[in-house]
Structure 1
Amino acid sequence: MSVLNLHHLRLFRAVARKGTLTGAARELNLSQSALSTQIKALEASLGHDLFERRGRGLVLSEAGRIALDHAEAIFRTADDLTATLRNTGNVRRALRVGALATLSRNFQLRFLMPLAGRSDVEVILRSGSQADLLRALEALSLDVVLTNLVPGRDAASPYLVHALSEQPVSLVGPPEFAGRALADLLASEPLILPTPEAALRASFDVLTGRLGVMPRIAAEADDMAMLRLLAREKVGLAVLAPIVVRDELAAGTLAELHRLEGISERFFAVTLHRRFPNPLVGEVLAAFALEGK
């Protein structure tokens, strides 16, 4: 069995990205003939043609697409190894965190608090959509993703999903509404709700159906920060996890009017199976778990 030549594999990746031998040769500072010879050597080693000629360009064959997927994984692992080992012994380490753009800022802060004030740690926080964050995680540009949405998984999925917290959900509003029955408030007062796509909203709709209530919706938002702002401005009574308005509850400007039994919001950290994981991820997950006990 022939040994795979990683130098040939790197050249193949460059040609696949450029789409022409000429462009790849120019980028690699090689002659076109030398590059072509080495690509043919890789094809001979693998036993398959990796490209098909289309006009003046090259497109990947089916075998080529498979080879490129594996090449990208190999070189990502190599980059990860280099970065990890180079950082060993350094005074300052980085933790790259992705957070769903709509996730509670208070929850994000609570997750990161075990690292707060540490002179040897730099936290790099990025927000975005679930799809973008998971792509960044797979590309190893993020170490962990915080979300309240469980990513789709199958036997081939690379994700590790860590259940961090399950927070109760309440009806929150100005303190003067305290003491009134839940059904009365839901039927008579304007409400601030998560959008219909949210799992939390589906559970709330089941609750109002069971109570026989037709809610008056003042506003809907998929962003926890916006729900918090609307509640603070007294646009209506908000359905959310109390952690979202923790400061307002502590200050007495808002009150937890009713705990909505059977409804909760779950928070997750998503990581990858990695040969060289960032040790800070394990530290913060362990510290968060200990805090929750």
Structure 2
Amino acid sequence: MGNLNYNHLRYFWAVAHDGNLTRTAERLNLTQSALSVQIRKLEQRLGHPMFERRGRQLHLTEAGRIVLDHADAIFATGEELLGTLREAGTARQALRVGSLATLSRNFQMEFLRPVLGRTDIDLILRSGSVAELLRALEALNLDVVLINQAPASDAVTPLVAHRLAAHAVSLVGTPDRLRGSASLADRLRAHPVILPTLDNSVRTGFDALVDSLGVRPQIVAEVEDMAMMRLLAREDVGLAVLPPIVVKDEIVGGVLVEGDPLPGIAETFYAVTMARRFPNPLVRRLVQPAHSLETA
């Protein structure tokens, strides 16, 4: 096997970052056909296509994304070498994690804890809606996505949902609100509640529960963001319906207390990955203890 031609790699690197073959050719003072030849030679050497064309746009293949990660490290190290002969570049791994914007920050920290503080890892964190995150995952711009419900999958975009944890949901509030003993039904009648929005599985379970109890609670707020639910509970607006992990620090500090557990209601957290030929080994370590479920 011959050595890698770094000129071919640099041409690929330039096109991958520009995202446009014509623009890159103009910038490098090359013809478009000459630039295409250089990239084809790299593809032949590596045995994988680097790009796929969707309409008029160039998109990295999975192999192309991996090659780009290495090219970034290689050329960054070259710049360091030019800048100083006293220090050597350090090889680093990239880990791109996307999280649902409303997901518990405490849960995210627990998931990331094994890689926090490691100096050999570039950790890139992004947030967004489920649709935005899954599109980024499919485009190989993310390695793993953290969400609270398993996504649908098909043969074109095979997703794997790793079930990480299921946290029981309770009534959470200030010590004054949860002082003394009372039945769950009486407590729900006596205090206003802070609920997730209607599209949340916890809300679906809560609505079924209060219907079975014959209770019509006063809803003081319907909130999409768990962080906002935590703040409203701290302000004593009402009793929040959420997993205690969301307010772990407040419970430890005595600002909030966990009250009645809500039977049969839990928030399930998933790490979603693509079925890839070249998976990021860091992701495998993070989800290894979890039970993997291929979504149907």
What TM-score comes out, normalization by structure 1 length?
0.73
Deviation at 1:82, TM superposition (A): 1.0
* Runs (5+) with no aligned partner, structure 2: 1-11, 13-18, 38-51, 75-88, 292-296
Query: Any residues of structure 2 matched to 1:226-265 within 5 Å, and which?
Result: 226-265=228-267
Whether contact under 8 Å (1:174, 1:253) holds in the other structure is: yes
1:82 maps to which of 67, 78, 99: 67
Residue 112 to residue 67, structure 1, CA distance change in 2 (3 Å): closer
Query: Any residues of structure 2 matched to 1:127-166 within 5 Å, and which?
Result: 127-166=127-166
Counterpart-to-counterpart distance in 2, 1:24 and 1:253: 57
In terms of fraction of residues, the more helix-rich structure is 1
Runs of 4+ with >6 A deviation: 22-32
Deviation at 1:91, TM superposition (A): 3.2
Deviation at 1:27, TM superposition (A): 8.3
Counterpart-to-counterpart distance in 2, 1:259 and 1:192: 15
Counterpart-to-counterpart distance in 2, 1:81 and 1:265: 34
Counterpart-to-counterpart distance in 2, 1:25 and 1:225: 48
Counterpart-to-counterpart distance in 1, 2:244 and 2:118: 28
Match of residue 79 from structure 2: none
Deviation at 1:85, TM superposition (A): 5.1
Q: In the TM superposition, what whole-angstrom CA distance separates every residue of 1:208-249 from its partner, at most 9, and x where no partner exists?
A: 000000010111101111111111111100000010000111
Residue 81 to residue 257, structure 1, CA distance change in 2 (3 Å): closer
Match of residue 200 from structure 2: 198
Whether contact under 8 Å (1:114, 1:287) holds in the other structure is: no
Counterpart-to-counterpart distance in 2, 1:119 and 1:67: 36
What TM-score comes out, normalization by structure 2 length?
0.72
Identity of aligned residues (%): 51
Residue 172 to residue 24, structure 1, CA distance change in 2 (3 Å): closer
Residue 85 to residue 263, structure 1, CA distance change in 2 (3 Å): same
Question: SS of 2:61's equivalent?
Answer: helix
Match of residue 187 from structure 2: 185
Match of residue 211 from structure 1: 213
Q: CA RMSD in A?
A: 3.3
* Runs (5+) with no aligned partner, structure 1: 1-9, 11-16, 39-65
Deviation at 1:180, TM superposition (A): 2.1
Q: In the TM superposition, what whole-angstrom CA distance separates every residue of 1:247-275 from its partner, at most 9, and x where no partner exists?
A: 11111111111011100000000011122
Counterpart-to-counterpart distance in 1, 2:186 and 2:200: 24
